Structure 1
Amino acid sequence: MKRTVTIPGPPALEGIYETPDAPIRGNAVVSHPHPLYGGTMVNPVVHHVAKACRRQGLATVRFNFRGVGSSEGTYQGTDEWRDVGAAAEFVAHQAAGGSPLILAGYSFGARMSMLAALNGVSAHALILVAFPLMWEHLTPEAFDHIGDFRGPVLSILGQHDDVAPPEQVKAFFGDRGLEAESVLIGGTDHFFYDHHEAVEAAVEDFLARVLPTPTPSTEMARGEVE
């Protein structure tokens, strides 16, 4: 099932909520790349990440950050993690409840997903696609405590990415005590052109290993939304 939704604000955000064909095992919030450079919830990388999540039984919500599309508000560059939190609260009230929750993001969305996890949004795991090391309104110090996150973390990197250089991203995480599983996708850069399926496969493989195994007593029903 797929439907357009409004995530309560302020600012109110437009989103797309989708449930998997299989019984729902949890939820995923998937965040898009930079709002000022054409990033939206229908970005192809975001689409493929969300698709992989549903293939592993997660209901997904993609949304437009404040100031994008029909979402209210304006771009700030620092507080958009609150939009991730609002989306997480939204899915917590849908058919699957709030647990486990996966926070996933691409580029700017990866940065805001991490900040959301550091600011009280409880996540079972993080999926960070092309985590950018170009800081703009934020400084590296905003991420000094990323090592406090103790859940599974997947970092997907493009071999020739000059926005998220693979070795520098690995060092940035490692220097701050974050234990992240890294997947390097060869022959591509920050945009993953012609490599979207590789991103999808990496996400699906990761989730298959880190999601709790459903049992007859805990397995969630298919997602019909009241």
Structure 2
Amino acid sequence: MKTKDVIINGPAGRIEGRYHKSEDFSHPVALVLHPHPQQGGTMNNKVAYSMFHSFAKKGFSVLRFNFRGVGRSEGEFDNGVGELLDAAIALDWLQSQNPGAPAYWVAGFSFGAWIALQLLMRRPEIVAFIVASPPDYDFSFLTPCPTPGFIIHGTDDEVVSEATVFSLYERLSKQKNSSIEYFPIYGANHLFKGKIPELSNEVERYISENMSLRTLQGVLKKDRRRRQPSHQVTEDSGGGDDGGDDV
């Protein structure tokens, strides 16, 4: 099934989204959250777009949407409080469309990563997360982090240092029964300019290795840092509905 436009009734009014319905009803479902609305973030941001299509490629039903006040979504920016409500309503909508789904995943980029991790703390049906470039915000609510997950960050991120994000990874990975994986993309800035293909490859690898709910529940705690040669170079193949570079 091709991706289609959807409108969801949200707490601040209409929520505009893009939805891909899997033909395999036994596959999980994913929700993808975009970066900061006040810094140009939309559901068509290249990173959010690439995550969306990575999930679709792996057979997921997947939704990305515009937070309140972005695009055709109604309402105004609410400093994360209303945006978390938007994400919760979007997850409710996904459940209504996929009543037999075995599991739910959440993913996000930058500000969207912060919202995604708050959402999984409130929704036990979420079994895994993937976040890219989490912002330098307070993540103390992850005590403990209840699900396995994957953190991706650029070594040349000019907005949030790799040391800051690696510190978050280390704190989460030391929690009891934790299974958090960290992957640095060498030479990538905050927007992963020129590195979107590498980002997509790692997202798809993680999805492939962790699609089974049984695998997720039985995974053992271990050092999940993945390192790649610093000389690795990958061409950017583009991506994104509007080609935007939102942050």
TM-score above 0.5, yes or no: yes
RMSD: 2.0
Question: For 1:198, what is the secondary structure of its paired residue?
Answer: helix
Q: Distance in 1 between matches of 2:126 and 2:110?
A: 18
Correspondent of 1:62 among 44, 64, 84: 64
> 1:7: which partner in 2?
8
Deviations 1:20-40 (CA, angstroms, capped at 9, x unpaired): 466650111000011011110
> 1:27: which partner in 2?
29
Distance change in 2, residues 1:77/1:186 (3 Å): same
Q: Distance in 2 between matches of 1:6 and 1:121?
A: 25
Counterpart amino acid of 2:9? P
- In the TM superposition, residue 2 of structure 1 has moved relative to its aligned partner by 1.5
Q: Distance in 1 between matches of 2:124 and 2:90?
A: 10
Correspondent of 2:113 among 95, 110, 113: 110
> 1:156: which partner in 2?
152
> 1:199: which partner in 2?
199
Counterpart contact for 2:108–2:116, Cα < 8 Å: yes
- In the TM superposition, residue 56 of structure 1 has moved relative to its aligned partner by 1.4
Deviations 1:22-72 (CA, angstroms, capped at 9, x unpaired): 665011100001101111011111111111111211111010001101111
Q: Distance in 2 between matches of 1:69 and 1:121?
A: 30
Counterpart contact for 1:24–1:59, Cα < 8 Å: no
Pairwise mapping of residues 41-190 of structure 1 onto structure 2 (< 5 A)? 41-79=43-81, 80-95=83-98, 97-120=100-123, 122-133=125-136, 135=137, 140=138, 143-175=139-171, 177=175, 179-190=179-190
Deviations 1:174-223 (CA, angstroms, capped at 9, x unpaired): 33536521111111110001111111111110011111179xxxxxxxxx
Question: For 2:201, what is the secondary structure of its paired residue?
Answer: helix
> 2:245: which partner in 1?
none
Deviations 1:5-34 (CA, angstroms, capped at 9, x unpaired): 112212231000013466650111000011
- In the TM superposition, residue 121 of structure 1 has moved relative to its aligned partner by 5.6
Q: Which runs of 5+ in 2 are unaligned?
A: 215-247
Deviations 1:81-117 (CA, angstroms, capped at 9, x unpaired): 1211111111111146443111000001001001111
- In the TM superposition, residue 145 of structure 1 has moved relative to its aligned partner by 3.1
Counterpart amino acid of 2:163? E
Distance change in 2, residues 1:40/1:69 (3 Å): same
Q: Distance in 1 between matches of 2:99 and 2:163?
A: 37
TM-score, normalised via structure 2 length: 0.78
Q: Distance in 2 between matches of 1:96 and 1:102?
A: 15
Q: Distance in 1 between matches of 2:22 and 2:194?
A: 25
Counterpart contact for 2:151–2:169, Cα < 8 Å: no
Question: For 1:146, what is the secondary structure of its paired residue?
Answer: coil
Q: Distance in 1 between matches of 2:70 and 2:163?
A: 32
Counterpart amino acid of 1:200? S
Question: For 2:108, what is the secondary structure of its paired residue?
Answer: strand
The count of corresponding residues between Structure 1 and Structure 2 is 207
Sequence identity (%): 29
Q: Distance in 2 between matches of 1:93 and 1:33?
A: 25
> 2:231: which partner in 1?
none
Q: Distance in 2 between matches of 1:99 and 1:148?
A: 23
Q: Which moved more, 1:156-165 or 1:67-76?
A: 156-165
Q: Distance in 2 between matches of 1:95 and 1:144?
A: 32
